């Protein structure tokens, strides 16, 4: 884990709820991959004590774009203290044609960075926004992404077809009860698919990360009877292994 200072070069509101912060960063930070994140401190004090977990939505050689809610108070020129890089990149199947991204009652931010990469590799992408996630405006996303919206009961139009057609699925749910929400999601998939192959349905776990290096045991997720740290082995875990 390394520490870096980054300058917020530009801030752009992208929809009614979120903004994109463009950070000038050192080249090693721009190596970040979809699934990985940073621990950020925007204040010069220890309040709040825990750093915010920031997921990038784009990275170029010297510029990192971070998506944050509009409630994050920042300004251009501000210096941010970053720790990283946290976690492992998402793992994709070798043969991949259709990917389903699913956000339930939370913003889809941890899912966004993979979209460009998938589209460049001619993989089609569907983003399903369920419940409160449907309030997330999507006009800033590439037009090739199919956007579907659904309700708090995890219903959406053509649900059976969407689920059957996906080669791989990545999902985010509210941090408050990830095990409960992921279990509901997993049960829904088991009812609608004949089988859920290994590495098919991934839950993105986002517990609070006090250390980010696997030292404090605060972020453990039970996978096949083993406890794995979300900060070093996650954030994505195969839900078939978590629920099994
Ligand atoms: S945050 Fe400390 S072990 Fe993961």
How large is the average pLDDT for residues 54-71? 93
3-state class of 118 per DSSP?
A: helix
Per-residue tokens: 58: 């784009």
pLDDT at residue 240 in the model: 93
Residue 26 has pLDDT above 70, yes or no: yes
For the entire predicted model, the pTM comes to 0.95
Residue 49 has pLDDT above 80, yes or no: no
Name 204's bridge partners: 236
120 CA to centre of ligand 1 in angstroms = 34
pLDDT tens column, 98-154: 999 999 999 999 999 999 999 999 999 999 999 999 999 999 999 999 999 999 999
How large is the average pLDDT for residues 196-217? 93
Cα separation values, 204 from 45, 80, 90, 143, 170, Å: 30, 25, 9, 25, 7
CB within 6 Å of ligand 1 — which residues?
Answer: 209-212, 214-219, 229, 231
Taking the C-alpha atoms of residue 194 and residue 182, their distance in angstroms, rounded to an integer, is: 19
How large is the average pLDDT for residues 228-235? 95
pLDDT tens column, 177-186: 999 999 999 9
Ligand 1: which of 231, 234, 235 to mutate, judged by most atoms within 8 Å of the beta carbon? Answer: 231
87 CA to centre of ligand 1 in angstroms = 10
- Whether cis (ω within 30° of 0) applies to the bond prior to 62 is no
190 CA to centre of ligand 1 in angstroms = 31
3-state class of 22 per DSSP?
A: strand
Residue 47 has pLDDT above 70, yes or no: no
pLDDT at residue 106 in the model: 97
| Domain 2-86 superfamily per CATH | Translation factors (2.40.30.10)
Give, using CA atoms, the residue closest to atom 3 of ligand 1.
214
Contact 218, 211 (CB under 8 A): yes
Taking the C-alpha atoms of residue 25 and residue 4, their distance in angstroms, rounded to an integer, is: 8
Residue 76 has pLDDT above 80, yes or no: yes
Confidence grade of residue 193 (pLDDT, cut at 50, 70, 90)? confident
Per-residue tokens: 219: 């972020």
230 CA to centre of ligand 1 in angstroms = 7
Q: Does domain 98-243 have CATH number 3.40.50?
A: yes
Q: Where are the domains of the chain?
A: 2-86, 98-243
Which atom of ligand 1 is least distant from the CA of 215? 3
How large is the average pLDDT for residues 3-24? 95
Which atom of ligand 1 is least distant from the CA of 229? 4
Contact 39, 209 (CB under 8 A): yes
Per-residue tokens: 8: 């917020």
Ligand 1: which of 53, 86, 214 to mutate, judged by most atoms within 8 Å of the beta carbon? Answer: 214
Q: Mean pLDDT of all residues in the chain?
A: 93
């Amino acid at each position: 884990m390394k520490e870096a200072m980054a300058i917020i070069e530009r801030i752009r509101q992208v929809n009614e709820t979120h903004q994109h912060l463009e950070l000038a960063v050192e080249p090693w930070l721009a190596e970040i991959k979809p699934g990985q994140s940073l621990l950020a401190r925007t204040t010069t004090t220890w309040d709040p004590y825990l750093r915010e977990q920031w997921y990038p939505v784009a990275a170029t050689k010297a510029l990192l774009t971070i998506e944050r809610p509009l409630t994050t108070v920042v300004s251009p020129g501000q210096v941010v203290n970053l720790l990283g890089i946290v976690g492992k990149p998402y793992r994709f199947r070798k043969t991949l044609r259709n990917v389903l991204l699913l956000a339930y009652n939370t913003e889809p931010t941890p899912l966004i960075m993979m979209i460009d990469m998938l589209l460049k590799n001619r993989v089609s992408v569907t983003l399903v926004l369920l419940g409160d996630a449907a309030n997330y405006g999507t006009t800033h996303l590439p037009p090739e992404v199919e956007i579907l919206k659904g309700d708090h009961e995890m219903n959406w139009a053509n649900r059976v077809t969407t689920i059957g057609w996906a080669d791989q699925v990545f999902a985010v749910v509210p941090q408050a009860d990830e095990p409960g929400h992921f279990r509901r999601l997993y049960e829904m998939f088991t009812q609608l698919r004949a089988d859920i192959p290994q590495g098919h349905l991934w839950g993105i776990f986002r517990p609070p990360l006090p250390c980010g290096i696997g030292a404090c045991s605060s972020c453990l997720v039970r996978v096949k009877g083993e406890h794995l740290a979300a900060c070093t082995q996650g954030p994505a875990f195969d839900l078939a292994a978590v629920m099994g």
